[in-house]
Amino acid sequence: MSDLTQRKEEILEAVFTEREAGRDGIGDVLLAASRELTAGAAPVDLEALAKDGLATLSDGRVALTADGEKRARDIVRRHRLTERLFRDLLDVGERVMEEQACALEHILSVEATDSVCTLLGHPPTCPHGKPIPPGPCCGAYQKTLRPLVTGLPAFTLGATGRIVFIAPKFHDRMDRLAALGVIPGSTIRLHQRSPSFVIEVGETTIALDPEIAGEIYVKPVEAR
């Protein structure tokens, strides 16, 4: 676990997520952090990060140092993986998902985080479509745990699964798949991998390009 206080971790997370949105102003960061902190955030919080060597402040803007970047990245990774865990495997609602993610991002160990990531099949995005920073486990060839969620290319031929999430490179792909009934929650059966992927959704058989198939993540379910 991190040796930072929960408050400092929230501020670091705010710097990271605001930068993702293209904002690095001190006011923007403090406003974002205040949404998560009961007592709100103040300039002194950013000054504390700067004193710890985690951020730099200049001309009304804030930037992360190398150490701050690593720490913030790890916090965001834990938060977004936990969101996936509670949404995709435990089927909880948005409010509970966020509450649990906010709590667990401060206490998950590195080992537990990698285990969650592996169980989820190393998802590239959170339920809101934001990127999940990858960890060392994402590039490992040998896994100690069998993923509960896998990309369609690694799914067992002839098996039945439920689509957990889709991470398309292009937004219009999601619309085209939705028109075919290929959406999160749909039950599918994988019939073929080559030359194209062939799946059955309801009573419809659909052929998918390998690149698109690689963007679909599935959890095994028992056939009815």
CB 47 within 8 A of CB 11: no
Q: Does the pLDDT value for residue 222 go beyond 90? A: no
Rounded CA gap, 50 and 80, in Å? 25
Q: Does the pLDDT value for residue 224 go beyond 60? A: no
CB 120 within 8 A of CB 88: yes
Query: Within 42-109, where are the H helices?
Result: 43-51, 66-84, 94-104
Q: Which of 184, 181, 191, 188 is nearest to 224 (CA)?
A: 188
Annotate 146-157 with DSSP letters as a single string.
Answer: --SSEEGGGSPT
**pLDDT single digits (tens) 5-39:** 889 999 999 999 999 999 999 999 999 999 888 88
Confidence of residue 223 (pLDDT cuts 50, 70, 90): low
Entry pTM:
0.68
CB 183 within 8 A of CB 202: no
Listed in sequence order, the residues at least 6 apart from 38 whose beta carbon sits closer than 8 Å to its beta carbon are none
Rounded CA gap, 179 and 2, in Å? 45
